[in-house]
Amino acid sequence: MGVDLSLIWAVIIIFGLMMYVVMDGFDLGIGILFPFVQEESKRDVMMNTAAPIWDGNETWLVLGGAGLFAAFPLAYSVVLPALYLPIIFMLMGLIFRGVAFELRFKATQLKRHIWDKSFIGGSICATFFQGVALGAFISGMPVEDRRFAGGALDWFTPFSLFCGVALIVAYALLGCTWLIMKTDGELQERMRKLGEPLVLLLLLMIGIVSIWTPLTHPDIADRWFTTPNLFLFMPVPVLVLLCTFFLLRSIRSEAHYTPFLLTLGLIFLGYSGLGISLWPNIIPPSVTIWEAAAPPESQGFALVGALLIIPIILVYTAWSYYVFRGKVTADDGYHH
């Protein structure tokens, strides 16, 4: 029995996208939370918690896109045309957010508000259109003769737009719990007060998506609600509720690290629920990873490079987080 290269590549891409959501999610969340903090010194601290590491986080998004191109060219050639506009808007948001990270600290007092707005707008825009793209992906894409057979605005649906709003809430909670972990004093206390309503709002969003998806996709409903799958997958919603309960309790008990770790757990459970709903389709509702795969020779060649570079990325990422560990205060920071 040979090695299933398509399965290996699917795991690599899933891992890369999960790492991106976890790591870039919290710094996009910081931008989303900026309107709730008006004091300039506190905004400086918020940005300084992520400034040394934010650009490395986006490596995982590049890895996921490059892996899709190398290992599943059919999926790449269908998904990108289907999502051209949301992806372009997302990239524009990431550009504005990235420029604001560097130029805000160099701007004069009179012009700093421009980069604050760029940071807020870029973060919200990038997050919203990531969620829209996810919602459109879940809804499925028509394929005929190995080409995308839909229209340029097929992604513009109520479900996709709702997924965009839901991801804004999820990233805001990630940013909020990151700041609880990385700051102290009044800013940390403010994040704790924001944390509880964000947790409850995210639980509501997860509930709505969990009901909306099977109602509009009978195949997903069959996967979740027929035996024995009903019992096999039951731990996922149960763990979501448990995770939410302990997350709320950790915020109220003034824990520092636990809220962020539990938020990561909540995001992972949502991600796993998505995987259960769609697997093994890489172009929902019907094209599997094996049908979209590149020739084994191409997958094997690209895999050699991936297995060399991924450990380097992991080591670099771990080292950068280790170097910039600990609390960030107004007296120190990346740009000082």
Q: What's the CA gap between 291 and 297, in Å, rounded?
A: 16
- pLDDT computed for residue 334 by the predictor: 53
Closest CA to 80 of 12, 1, 147: 147
The predicted model gives 179-204 an average pLDDT of: 92
Q: What is the pLDDT of residue 126?
A: 95
**Spans of all domains in the chain:** 5-322
Predicted pLDDT of residue 336: 43
pLDDT higher than 70, residue 335: no
CA distances from 221 to 105, 114, 217 (A): 50, 47, 6
- pLDDT tens digit sequence for 229-282: 788 888 888 999 999 999 999 999 888 899 999 999 999 998 888 888 888 888
DSSP conformation letters of 116-146:
HHHHHHHHHHHHHHHHHHHHHHHH---EETT
Proportion of the chain in helix, strand, coil states, percent, rounded to 5: 75, 5, 20
Of the candidates 130, 112, 117, which has an alpha carbon nearest to the alpha carbon of residue 174?
130
**What's 232's DSSP letter?**
H
d(CA 151, CA 87): 15
d(CA 186, CA 252): 15
Cβ atoms of residues 157 and 131 within 8 Å: no
Helices 258-278 and 158-182: angle between axes, nearest 10 degrees:
150
Instruction: State the CATH architecture for 5-322.
Output: Up-down Bundle (1.20)
Give CA–CA dist 178/325, Å, rounded.
12
pLDDT-based confidence at residue 333 (cuts at 50, 70, 90): low
- What single letter denotes the amino acid at residue 54? W
**Residues across the chain:** 336
CA distance 30 to 25: 9
Structure confidence by residue, pLDDT tens digits, 65-116:
889 999 999 999 999 999 999 999 999 999 998 888 888 878 777 788 888 8
